Amino acid sequence: MYRIGIGYDLHRLVGGRPLILGGVKIEYHRGLEGHSDADVLVHALMDALLGAAGLKDIGHYFPPHDPEYKGVSSLLLLKKVRHLVEKIGFQLVNADTVIIAEAPKLAPYIESMVENITSVLAAAPGSVSVKATTTEGLGDCGRGEAIAAQAVALLKRDARES
């Protein structure tokens, strides 16, 4: 049995915060506003995984105002999502993600993002894809006010659970 899920996240760019994407600190003069580290890439991926597994969204498992999650690394939350998904008998086949940002340029950081996510998910090499695109100056992301991410995840039921 295969199941697919989709996730989306967007956070406003603000001064005084580090920019974290895919668990990688990006050199930039602004970061993403949020209760945790506001890693939109990982947040979108978590929702895709949870959706594919038929579970609730990340806000249910990690409430945005819970002090336990203040400033927490989204990679830690991703590991918890992995365990939730595995607990009900699913494993990742592949995940495809895209970051939507006008700036900064993300190409130098992509491979590290892939390595971080692949490691946390204990995924097979090549099963996680991270891409980046711009919106050609259009919308919140295009004006440099925000960064967004989309993710799609394909899960399969563990044969032992069938």
Evaluate if residue 160 carries a pLDDT over 70. no
Contact 124, 93 (CB under 8 A): no
Confidence of residue 32 (pLDDT cuts 50, 70, 90): very high
Evaluate if residue 52 carries a pLDDT over 70. yes
CA–CA gap between residue 76 and residue 55 (Å, rounded): 18
Q: What is the CATH number of the domain that holds 139?
A: 3.30.1330.50
Q: Which of 36, 40, 26, 13 is nearest to 151 (CA)?
A: 40
Contact 153, 45 (CB under 8 A): yes
> Model pTM?
0.96
What residue numbers bound the domain in which 9 lies? Answer: 2-161
The mean predicted confidence, pLDDT, of the chain is 96
Structural domains of the chain, count: 1
- C-alpha pair distances (Å), 30 with each of 9, 26, 134: 18, 10, 17
- Exposed, middle or buried, 140 (CB in 10 Å: 0-12/13-18/19+)? middle
**The pLDDT value given to residue 161:** 54
CA–CA gap between residue 13 and residue 32 (Å, rounded): 5
Number of H helices, E strands in the chain: 5, 7
Mind listing the pLDDT tens digit for each residue in 65-113?
899 999 999 999 999 999 999 999 999 999 999 999 999 999 999 999 9
CA–CA gap between residue 104 and residue 87 (Å, rounded): 37
**The pLDDT value given to residue 39:** 98
Evaluate if residue 131 carries a pLDDT over 90. yes
